[in-house]
Amino acid sequence: MRGYIGVDVGSVSTNVVAIDDEGNVIDKVYLRTQGQPIKVVQEGLRAIAAKCSDIEIAGAGTTGSGRRLASVIVGADCVKNEITAHAVAASHVVPGVQTVLEIGGQDSKIIILRNGVVIDFAMNTVCAAGTGSFLDHQATRLNIPIEQFGDLALKAEVPVRIAGRCAVFAESDMIHKQQMGHRIEDIVCGLCEALVRNYLNNVGKGKDILPPIVFQGGVAANAGMKRAFEKALGETVIVPEHYNVMGAIGAAILAAEEVKRRGTGTLFRGFDVVDEEFEARSFECKGCPNRCEVINIIRDGDTIARWGDRCGKWEAL
Amino acid sequence: MKVTFPHMGNLYIPLRALFENLGLTVIVPPKSSKRTLTLGTRNSPEFACLPLKVNVGNFIEAFELGADAVVMAGGVGPCRFGYYGEVEREILEDLGYNFEMFIIEPPQGRFREVLHELGRLVGRVTASQVIHAVRIAWEKLSSVEALERLAAKVRARELQKGSVTKALAQALKDIDKAETLGEIRTARLDGLSTISGVPQREDYTPLRVGIVGEIYVVLEPFVNLDVERELGEMGVEVERSIYLGDWIGLHVIKDMLRFGRGSLKRVKRLASPYLQHFVGGHGIESVGHSVEYARKGFDGVVHLAPFTCMPEIVAESILPRVSKDLDIPIMSLIFDEHSADTGVVTRLEAFVDLISRRRSRLGNLGKDTGDVSYAGLYRR
């Protein structure tokens, strides 16, 4: 059987999937990036390799903010931005999808599709209020495991109103409500509603949000957020089975497309990469006052990639 | 007296020529860099927008090279920039620098003040000296922009990534060095032919994107993280809505000579279904130019603004309607002191994906094949 690998290296999580020719997920891994993207990509591949012993890997794709780094490690056929990757995965899983709501660790985006084609998108520009990191932070502060956060919200009776525009204002509002004696469930639910309000007014501003609506990204695990979206939009919101690895699925589908288009075989370097020694070393170029921080990616003693320079002097090896 | 001025794209080339030909010693600040930004943000109010911070950094770095006079533009209307000259004077004085400041307000009928300020700067000069200096500076400005325009077109087709950028940099250097009108023209022609001689992909029709927004962010690649080049290297032909030659022609010369401000009027007329008032800065232009790009059949518009820029916030809230009415994708990008370009590149890539899918669909109307590939449109 043939399979395709997709790797999504995000700020908070790194996901690796293997899909078959039809785009069905063979296996998936969701790991925390924890500031060590190289190690985590290798770890993810190792876990996937265990399930793929009898599968011929015919292509690999990477996406996410660490897509470039991941691409030199795995040998990617396709390196693609996460907006396109998410859109491709969503329209694969829910054919005819018209709206994709995606909330990840540091980004939130909305993608509008018509007839399977992206016609509009937006991404949070200057503020991370309402993204996964903020929810994570609040869960820690309230001493609630993030996995239970959403279910707690569903138990609310009288959601309180929380300021949603700014994480700092939201936090001070939450502390205030908590000191006034409101129930924790009501506060958590209020927070979900505030984040949804902020999302729709900020990222979703002026967009035609039509069903089917797919909600994906790590935050889609939060049942409270799903319900808050449904309440605000008055529509059913679909959370796909593999909601938290949709970027990686998209990257794998794109890699499959690319390999077919090119017809010269995959650049995937094989699962042996999990045992290779990768090292990233940086230095400050003193060629001009920009003082670019140049990154060297070193594999088993050889420099295999370099980037970070504005002028392109170092990028060519 | 050693004169300096803030950086804004390649404006230093004509400005250096102007002041030197008026008999002044010029100190061009080092190109804006991380150090400039660090100096600027450390010494500026937090709530000011990015242009002020980079200006302050430029001035401090020029003082370090011995400058002791600053020329700065003023402004009118709701944009804060109009007052930045004064604010910068105060900041730099507080830092203990000894310098003279010359703030050139846009004329708008008050020529005496402008001439007085200019007279204070250059001292006694003959009329023919002034005419000569202005001619040289104008020739350099229009040469610089002719080269920039051509580079933005050819870059989309270059075979070797970076070759146009390299050719452009060399041509700009030659223009900067040229002293006489003849030398400038030679440098310009040489530059134009080197750029168009760069090996190019044939049988390729690039996507076309217009860049609108606040003038400083649009013109200064250090601040906009090289949006023009990024797009170009993704195979997109870029046109800026703002070229300084146009802008000076519009605001200074035509104003001075009191003949019709044709092009501004046109932009205002185009913007008028959406915005009828002057909102400061380039707010109305951003809207008007977006309409213009849509009418000219561009594939998309990218709108640039510094964080907290009021005029552009007004434009940003209007652009989604323009986009819907005229069926043209528009994306706004906001810049502050961040240097990580990943976020910007991600958005640009996705935007290019969107417009290229859109074009291939429009191009195949009626025979929608549905199998246009997202992958492999461009490499990075």
Considering the domain architecture, whether residues A175 and A45 belong to the same structural domain is answered as no
Considering the domain architecture, whether residues A193 and A284 belong to the same structural domain is answered as no
The answer to whether residue A92 sits within a structural domain is: no
The answer to whether residue A156 sits within a structural domain is: yes
Q: Cα separations (Å) of A6 from A36, A261, B5, B212, B309?
A: 18, 17, 50, 36, 39
- Number of helices (H), then strands (E), in chain B: 16, 8
* Chain B partners within 8 Å of A123 (Cβ): 343, 346-347, 350
pLDDT in tens, A191-221: 899 889 888 988 888 888 999 999 999 899 9
Best-predicted range by mean pLDDT (A126-140, B176-190, B347-361) = B176-190
**Complex ipTM more than 0.90, yes or no:** no
Considering the domain architecture, whether residues A77 and A149 belong to the same structural domain is answered as no
pLDDT in tens, A272-290: 888 888 888 888 888 877 7
Model confidence band, residue A126 (pLDDT cutoffs 50, 70, 90)? low
- Chain B, residues 14-33, CB within 8 A of chain A, namely 30-31, 33
Considering the domain architecture, whether residues A42 and A74 belong to the same structural domain is answered as yes
Is the minimum CB–CB distance between B342 and chain A shorter than 8 Å?
A: yes
Model confidence band, residue B153 (pLDDT cutoffs 50, 70, 90)? very high
β-bridge mates for residue A62, sequence order: A7, A79
For residue A142, the model assigns a pLDDT of 85
**Nearest CB to B347 within list A68, A123, A289:** A123
Question: Given this structure, which CATH class describes domain B206-380?
Answer: alpha beta
Residue-range definition of the domain harbouring residue A25:
2-87+247-275
Considering the domain architecture, whether residues A232 and A161 belong to the same structural domain is answered as yes
Considering the domain architecture, whether residues A57 and A102 belong to the same structural domain is answered as no
- Which helix (H) or strand (E) segment is A296 a member of? strand A293-299
CA neighbours closer than 13 Å in the CB half-sphere of residue B88: 33
What is the Cα–Cα distance from A143 to A146, expressed in whole angstroms? Answer: 9
User: Average pLDDT over chain A, rounded to whole?
Assistant: 88
For residue B380, the model assigns a pLDDT of 31
Q: Is the pLDDT of residue B291 over 70?
A: yes
Which of A154-158, A263-267, B13-17, B303-307 has the lowest average pLDDT? A263-267
- Which residue in chain B is spatially nearest to A207 when comparing CA positions? B320
Phi first, then psi: give them for residue B37, nearest 5 degrees.
-65, -40
Q: Which two structure tokens, joined as six digits, stand for B105?
A: 């307000």
* Chain A partners within 8 Å of B347 (Cβ): 81, 83, 123
Considering the domain architecture, whether residues A52 and A129 belong to the same structural domain is answered as no
For residue B252, the model assigns a pLDDT of 60
Query: CATH no. for residue A122?
Result: 3.30.420.40
Pick the CATH number of B2-125 from 3.90.550, 3.40.720, 1.10.10, 3.40.50: 3.40.50
Best CA proximity match to A14, nearest among A69, A64, A89, A81: A64
Q: Is the pLDDT of residue A249 over 80?
A: yes
Best CA proximity match to B130, nearest among B213, B14, B23, B36: B23
CA distance B266 to chain A (A): 27
What is the Cα–Cα distance from B158 to B150, expressed in whole angstroms? Answer: 12
Is the minimum CB–CB distance between B349 and chain A shorter than 8 Å?
A: yes
The answer to whether residue A163 sits within a structural domain is: yes
What is the Cα–Cα distance from B173 to A211, expressed in whole angstroms? Answer: 55
Considering the domain architecture, whether residues A201 and A254 belong to the same structural domain is answered as no
The answer to whether residue A73 sits within a structural domain is: yes
CA distance A311 to chain B (A): 9
Residue of B374, B377, B379 best to disrupt the A interface, most CBs of A under 10 A: B374
Domain ranges of chain B: 2-125, 206-380
CA distance B83 to chain A (A): 25
Considering the domain architecture, whether residues A131 and A229 belong to the same structural domain is answered as yes
Q: Cα separations (Å) of B303 from A133, A134, B330, B335?
A: 28, 28, 7, 11
pLDDT in tens, B80-103: 888 889 999 999 999 999 999 998
Structural domain count of chain A: 3
For residue B369, the model assigns a pLDDT of 36
- Number of helices (H), then strands (E), in chain A: 9, 13
User: Average pLDDT over chain B, rounded to whole?
Assistant: 87
What is the Cα–Cα distance from A100 to A239, expressed in whole angstroms? Answer: 10
Report the interhelical angle of B283-295 vs B262-271 (nearest 10°).
Answer: 80
Average pLDDT over residues B245-256: 62
The answer to whether residue A312 sits within a structural domain is: no
Is the minimum CB–CB distance between B36 and chain A shorter than 8 Å?
A: yes
Phi first, then psi: give them for residue A76, nearest 5 degrees.
-95, 145
The residue type at A145: P
pLDDT in tens, B319-344: 989 998 999 999 999 998 876 777 88
Model confidence band, residue B221 (pLDDT cutoffs 50, 70, 90)? very high
The answer to whether residue A186 sits within a structural domain is: yes
Q: Which two structure tokens, joined as six digits, stand for B248?
A: 């000076």
